[in-house]
Structure 1
Amino acid sequence: MELEFLGTGAGVPSKGRNLSSLALKLLNERNEIWLFDVGEATQQQILETTIRPRKINKIFITHLHGDHLFGLPGLLSSRSFQGGQTPLDLYGPRGIKRFVQTTLKLSDSHLTYKINYHELQAGGVIFEDQTFRVICGQLEHRIPCYGYRIEEKPHAGELLMEKLERFNVPNGPLLGQLKRGQEITLADGTVLRGTDFIGPSRPGRVVTILGDTRYCSESINLARQADVLVHESTLAHAEEKMAWQHYHSTSRQAAQVAVQAQVKRLLLNHISARYFGNSFYELLNDARKVFSNVYVVKDFDQIEVKFAPAEED
């Protein structure tokens, strides 16, 4: 599981930061890529990466402001040109379906795949299968805006091969049955129970990706004990009044959310163009006064979401 930042800027693009877009790469887990927001020129940013649009099968839009949305029609069209045939699930606030269908119709664009629209009107579970669950919650912004909590289901324990060595279990179906927790009988009549040879299950990872928001309680709820929290950090602490007026957060407020939610790592995103060059350190230093494990992301940063260390007996 890996996060790749395609755009980390706020409002308007700058030379150093494109507009909001973030890829959650689940290639090992599901051979899929999930995209969160599609700001203008996202597909141009993708050209600088190894991401293939046909691998993108879910897109989550936080809200309908242009800096999070204007790259969507172009990306959907390019997915057709680049061999995308499988259906795509599109999640976002009410109005996302009308926006996409209107732009495709007026531009006479035709897709080679089906879009399944999921318009959000309240918080709760919006996707779940055997490996992942996604929960959304409404944040506090000028227009309806959502944050997303991505929960990986627990991983089954590994087969303890060292413990099995003395039984000389042959490679093949018998090992597979043990891995599934089943009972097997060896050629000499020895009966082995799979549950006796499987290690403890490993908790899945949790990633929380928030849209634009003031400091609010729903941010904390969505981020509770997450391995990684991606939080907007439009302005520094000195501009807290301005952040409030424009329904945004400061880096220190993002750090306060991280502390209250007990997250493991905080990634600051959605950076105002006023913080160019090394001036982003103002954001970083403000946040570190509250929460230590914090990083200000840049375009094309790739962040691995690691499993928590196994607890020792």
Structure 2
Amino acid sequence: MELYFLGTNAGVPTLQRNVTSIGLRMYEERRALWLFDCGEGTQHQVLRSLLKLSKLEKIFITHLHGDHLFGLPGLLSSRAYQGGVTPLTVYGPVGLERYIRTTLELSQSRIEYELNIVEHEGGVVFEDEMFRVESALLEHRIDSYGYRIIEKDRPGQLNFEILKHHGIKPGPLYGQLKNGGSIQLADGQTLHSHQVVGKPKKGKIITILGDTRPCPNVSLLAQDADVLVHEATFLQDMEETAHNYYHSTTLQAAHAAKEANAHELILTHFSSRYKDREQLEPLLQEAKSVFENTLLAEEHVLFPITSKSV
């Protein structure tokens, strides 16, 4: 899994950065792409990226502010032209369906694939045999949610030497053992899963927050996360401004990562006052003074997700 930032600016796009959208690339895990937020110009950013809309499976919207949402109708309308014909589900706060249906209807846009819209108010918003996605309300001017993506533990590796010793060839029996079953051998013995399967592979946890100022649900969502993506709109000397606008500072994001025992912190959603990498560097250094394993989000850069257990 890797994170790919399509936009890292707060409020409005600039010549240096686009507004918020984050790709979670899971090509190895489920041959799929998930997007988190879809600010204006996201589909243009996708065209310049390593991401493929043909693999887009889900979009999670944190809140209904334009810099997180205004790119959604265009992307939904044009997705099929980029090979996206498989079903797509969009998750987000109450009001999201009315926004999508209204914009598509008034623009007479035709959707050539199955589009599902799921509104939620937190809790478990998605779960299958591979992943669970939990959400909780943050503290912003409108309802804003964070998402906790939990990869479920995967079975360990088969011990092929033992299987070969017992004369078991690749096929359905491999799957039966890997999934926790037992098989009867030709000599009457029973071979159990735990005898040939190694320790389960610990799943990863990724936390992606919407706009927020410090609140208890940040820690709840970020607890023991392998990666925490947290807004850092301002430097700490603008803490009062951040509070008044329901945003966070660099140090607040860093303290959140430290208190939640996260492994890595990626800062994003930067104020337009910080124009380039040189002006963003103080934000990074300020956060690193509290939480050393901090990175700045950069657009069109892959961020591999490393497990805490490694």
Fold match, TM over 0.5? Answer: yes
Q: Deviations over 1:137-194 (max 9, x none)?
A: 1110011111100001111111122444543433334433332333334445554223
Distance across 1 between alignment mates of 2:164 and 2:307:
28
Partner of residue 261, structure 1: 260
Give how far 1:239 is off: 0.7
Task: Give the conservation status (yes or no) of the 8 Å contact 1:236–1:251.
Answer: yes
Q: Which residue of 2 aligns with 1:240?
A: 239
CA distance in 2, matches of 1:198, 1:254: 40
Q: What RMSD in Å do the two structures reach over aligned CA positions?
A: 1.6
Q: Which residue of 2 aligns with 1:71?
A: 71
How far does residue 195 in structure 1 lie from its aligned partner after superposition?
2.2
Give yes or no for contact 2:157–2:197 (8 Å, CA) kept in 1.
Answer: yes
- 1:116-265 matches, within 5 Å, as 116-120=116-120, 122-265=121-264
Q: TM-score, normalised by structure 1?
A: 0.94
Equivalent position amino acid for 1:243 in 2: A
* Cα distance in 2 between the residues matched to 1:164 and 1:107: 60
Partner Cα separation in structure 1 for residue 39 and residue 264 of structure 2: 25
Q: 1:242 to 1:154 in 2, by over 3 A?
A: same
What is the CA-CA distance between 1:89 and the residue it aligns to? 1.0
Partner of 1:45: 45
CA 1:110–1:170: 2 relative to 1, 3 Å: closer
Cα distance in 2 for residues equivalent to 1:113 and 1:104: 14
1:270 equivalent in alignment to 2:269 = yes
* Cα distance in 2 for residues equivalent to 1:103 and 1:191: 61
- Specify every segment of 5 or more residues in structure 2 that has no aligned partner in the other structure, as ranges: none
Instruction: List runs of 5+ in structure 1 lacking aligned partners.
Output: none
Q: Deviations over 1:268-307 (max 9, x none)?
A: 0101111122011111111111110000111112111123
Shift of 1:75: 0.2
Conserved 8 A contact 2:61-2:93: yes
4+ residue segments displaced more than 2 Å: 80-87, 161-195, 306-310
Deviation at 1:102, TM superposition (A): 1.4
Deviation at 1:30, TM superposition (A): 1.2
Cα distance in structure 1, aligned partners of 2:139 and 2:11: 17
**Normalization by structure 2: what TM-score?**
0.95
**Match for 2:87: what amino acid?**
P
Which stretch shifts more, 135-144 or 95-104? 95-104
| Paired residue secondary structure (2:35) | strand
Supply the AA of the counterpart residue of 2:266: L
Counterparts of 1:184 and 1:48, CA distance in 2: 51
- The one-letter code of the counterpart of 2:92 is G
**Contact 2:62–2:145 (CA under 8 A) maintained in structure 1:** yes
Name the aligned partner's letter for residue 179 of structure 1: K
The SS at the match of 2:37 is strand
Paired with 1:23 and 1:48, the residues of 2 have a C-alpha distance of 13
Identity of aligned residues (%): 49
**Which has the higher mean CA deviation after the structures are superposed, 81-90 or 247-256?**
81-90
CA distance in 1, matches of 2:178, 2:297: 40
What secondary structure, in the 3-state scheme, does the structure 2 residue paired with 1:219 have?
helix
Greater shift after overlay, 54-63 or 155-164?
Answer: 155-164
The 1:206/1:112 distance shift into structure 2, 3 A limit, reads same
1:174 and 1:266 mapped to 2: Cα distance?
A: 42
Checking the alignment, whether the CA contact within 8 Å between 1:53 and 1:78 is kept in structure 2 is no
User: Distance in 2 between the 1:70 and 1:206 partners?
Assistant: 28
Distance 1:254 1:308 in 2: 19
Q: Provide the C-alpha distance between the structure 2 equivalents of 1:172 and 1:84, rounded to a whole number of angstroms.
A: 33
After superposition, the Cα gap between the structure-2 partners of 1:119 and 1:175, relative to the gap in structure 1 and judged at 3 Å, is closer
| Distance change (3 Å), C-alpha of 1:287 and 1:167 | same
Q: Which moved further from structure 2: 258-267 or 28-37?
A: 28-37
Distance 1:64 1:180, change over 3 A: closer
Q: Which stretch has the larger CA shift, 148-157 or 299-308?
A: 299-308
Report if aligned partners of 1:38, 1:70 keep a CA contact under 8 Å in 2: yes
Counterpart Cα distance in 2 of 1:174 and 1:92 = 42
Change (3 A) 1:144 1:176: closer
Distance in 1, matches of 2:92 and 2:176, equals 42
* Preserved CA contact (<8 Å) 2:155 2:179: no
